[in-house]
């Protein structure tokens, strides 16, 4: 898939106010500083799509971008908020939970993980909650340029082993580096294949 056009559409705190659910949608989420904006910009070929479209505060919302006028890329707030109040954290968690569980046209969620770290409890718990709810997800390792190739292989293998302890079948894995523009092809191919099978909601 080649991305010819990527445009910011809107931001919301309520999934019911999101765009009409009539085209396929793919959400991107991860812990803070995982490199989400950089990955989105790499995927779309836009240097600042995920930043210039989000004024201060927008990172706390559900952000929709329309791609090639045929599917939505959704930038979600992170999870594991260490530096916000309990009230704020609960509000974000409910917003994300409701979006992931009730958004009709959400085809797949891409969970971003910094490849430099071992499997963190917050990431594993989040993935487990998706699995238990039957929400399809893929794992995207970011910042692969920060490690040597053999270290990348070791990290992916260790993560896969950890996932195998929790899952009978581990979800698809992608290794990316926004810095070196690597890994976007596999993600876009997956999205393209899902787009072809998406049935427009009546």
Residue 157 sits in a domain of what CATH number? 3.40.50.300
**Dihedral of the CA atoms 36, 42, 46, 50 (nearest 10)?**
0
Q: How confident is the model at residue 52 (pLDDT cuts 50, 70, 90)?
A: very low
1 part of a folded domain: no
List CB contacts of 50: < 8 A, sequence separation 6 or more.
Answer: 36, 37, 38, 40, 41, 63, 65, 75
Element (H, E) at 125: helix 121-132
202 part of a folded domain: no
User: Domain tally for the chain?
Assistant: 1
141 part of a folded domain: yes
50 part of a folded domain: yes
The model carries a pTM of: 0.92
Q: Residue 90's domain spans which residues?
A: 6-196
Closest listed residue to residue 172, CA positions, set 138, 131, 122, 196 = 138
87 part of a folded domain: yes
86 part of a folded domain: yes
pLDDT for position 58: 44
**Residue 110 dihedral angles phi and psi, to the nearest 5°:** -100, 115
Q: Which residues pair with 71 in a beta bridge?
A: 67
Question: Looking at the predicted structure, is the pLDDT value of residue 83 above 90?
Answer: no
Question: Is 14 in contact with 95 (CB distance < 8 Å)?
Answer: yes
Q: Which residues pair with 72 in a beta bridge?
A: 25, 66
118 part of a folded domain: yes
């Amino acid at each position: 898939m080649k991305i010819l056009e990527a445009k910011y559409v809107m931001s919301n705190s309520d999934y019911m106010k999101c765009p009409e659910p009539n085209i396929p949608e793919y959400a991107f989420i991860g812990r803070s500083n995982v490199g989400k904006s950089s990955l989105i910009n790499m995927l779309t070929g836009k240097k600042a799509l995920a930043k210039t479209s989000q004024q201060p505060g927008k990172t706390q919302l559900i952000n929709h971008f329309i791609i090639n006028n045929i599917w939505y890329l959704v930038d979600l707030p992170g999870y594991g908020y260490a530096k916000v109040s309990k009230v704020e954290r609960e509000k974000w968690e409910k917003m994300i939970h409701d979006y992931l569980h009730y958004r009709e046209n959400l085809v797949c969620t891409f969970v971003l993980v910094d490849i430099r770290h071992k499997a963190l409890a917050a990431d594993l718990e989040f993935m487990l909650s998706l699995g238990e709810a039957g929400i399809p997800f893929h794992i995207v390792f970011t910042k692969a340029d920060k490690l040597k190739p053999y270290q990348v292989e070791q990290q992916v293998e260790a993560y896969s082993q950890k996932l195998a302890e929790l899952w009978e079948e581990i979800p698809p894995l992608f290794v990316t580096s926004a810095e070196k523009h690597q890994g976007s092809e596999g993600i876009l191919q997956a999205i393209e294949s899902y787009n072809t099978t998406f049935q427009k909601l009546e």
